[in-house]
A and B are shown apart, each in its own frame.
Chain A
Amino acid sequence: MEFLLENILNLVGFIIGIIIGVFSYVGYRNTGSPVLFRLTIAFIAIGIGFGVIWAGYLIDDVFLQEGKINRGLQALGLGIQTIGYFFIAFSHTIKSFFPKSRYFRSVGILPLFVLSTMNIEHIIRSFSFILLVYGAIETLVSFLEGKQKGALAVGTGLALLAFGEFIAWYSLVFPESVLYSISILLKISGLISLFLPISRLPLRKIKMDDLDDDKKFDDFEDDKFGR
């Protein structure tokens, strides 16, 4: 049961991550917005992270048949996902704390995680949890300011992913309990909630390279007009 749920979760995560990542990339190509660039990195990383874990389960199912994923591969997938969560949280950090800094806006700082397997998984889950909670809080604060339903759905999605991550971390303490299955279901719900507002956007007219390179607005000088 857990094996099936894990497969579904990671497949859904892979598909949704890549779709939102590609959509962000098209937006970045057409507008040159660094925010969309960071969202591209975030969601491609999240998609690849889920994809790596899914591939791990597939390899075990088809070739190894041990009934469990290779710990190193799982840690790698979780680490890649955490980089994605970091970039979502980082975009909010820039908005909140670095409104004038060009350097912090451009690429950001990549976190480095260098330790060994089981401990790494705990640490990565902890990092993911903190980043997801931060992203959820910031998005829900934006919802309270702007009352936009999409922000509520994304904020709820990130919160469900965070809660799922917390339960998954807790299930390591009680390995044979139902907690892990609950965490997977919470994460699937979170991913669907994350995808809902994006699925309602008009995607039909979006195409890449609609504008020449010099039509992008790369010079992100701020201007203040009391708005």
Chain B
Amino acid sequence: MGVYRKQIEIVGDILYAAEELTIDQNGATITKLIQKANISHSRISKILTNLVSQGLLEQIDSKRACKYRISMSGKDFLREYKTFSEFTDNFGLTI
């Protein structure tokens, strides 16, 4: 049986992916984020729009493709997500 991810876990995975892929300041393409976060295109589009509107991701318009990079508040959120994820793991639960 497959393991279900909650919405917050998907958001966490996307932010992880964006953080890892934002090595330089150019950001990551949607394709890279899809591969890294293991999520479908139709679903990620909606979530990315949401994350950009909330200021957790920054959208960069380049000539070739739309790219995303993690913002400072995105990094803050990710740090807290990791902390509380570890906290719930200690109880054998998922955040």
User: How many angstroms between the C-alpha atoms of A42 and B84 in the bound complex?
Assistant: 16
Q: Report if A139-B92 is in contact (Cβ < 8 Å); known contacts: A23-B87, A202-B83, A227-B3.
A: yes
Interface membership of A219, Cβ < 8 A: yes
User: How many angstroms between the C-alpha atoms of A222 and B55 in the bound complex?
Assistant: 23
Question: What are 28 of the A-B contact pairs (CB < 8 Å)?
Answer: A23-B87, A33-B88, A35-B88, A35-B94, A36-B88, A91-B91, A91-B93, A95-B93, A150-B86, A150-B90, A205-B79, A210-B80, A211-B54, A214-B54, A215-B54, A217-B8, A217-B11, A222-B5, A222-B6, A223-B4, A223-B7, A223-B10, A223-B39, A224-B2, A224-B3, A224-B4, A225-B2, A225-B5
Residue among B6, B39, B88, B93 with max Cβ neighbours from chain A (10 Å): B93
Interface membership of A27, Cβ < 8 A: yes
- Contact across chains for A227 and B90 when beta carbons are under 8 A apart: no
Q: How far is the CB of B91 from chain A (nearest CB, A)?
A: 6
- Contact across chains for A139 and B87 when beta carbons are under 8 A apart: no
Interface membership of A112, Cβ < 8 A: no
- Contact across chains for B90 and A153 when beta carbons are under 8 A apart: yes
Q: How far is the CB of B59 from chain A (nearest CB, A)?
A: 17
Identity of the chain A residue whose Cβ is nearest the Cβ of B5 in the assembled complex: A223
Chain A 155-197: CB-based contact to B (< 8 A → 1; otherwise 0): 1000000000000000000000000000000000000000001
* Interfacial residues, chain B to chain A (CB-CB below 8 A): 2-8, 10-11, 38-40, 43, 54-56, 73, 76-77, 79-81, 83-84, 86-95
Size of interface on A: residues with Cβ below 8 Å to B: 49
Identity of the chain A residue whose Cβ is nearest the Cβ of B38 in the assembled complex: A225
Partner-contacting stretch, out of A4-12, A57-65, A76-84, A140-148: A140-148
Q: Which residues of B lie under 8 Å from residue A227 when comparing CB positions?
A: 2-3, 5, 38
Q: How far is the CB of A76 from chain B (nearest CB, A)?
A: 26
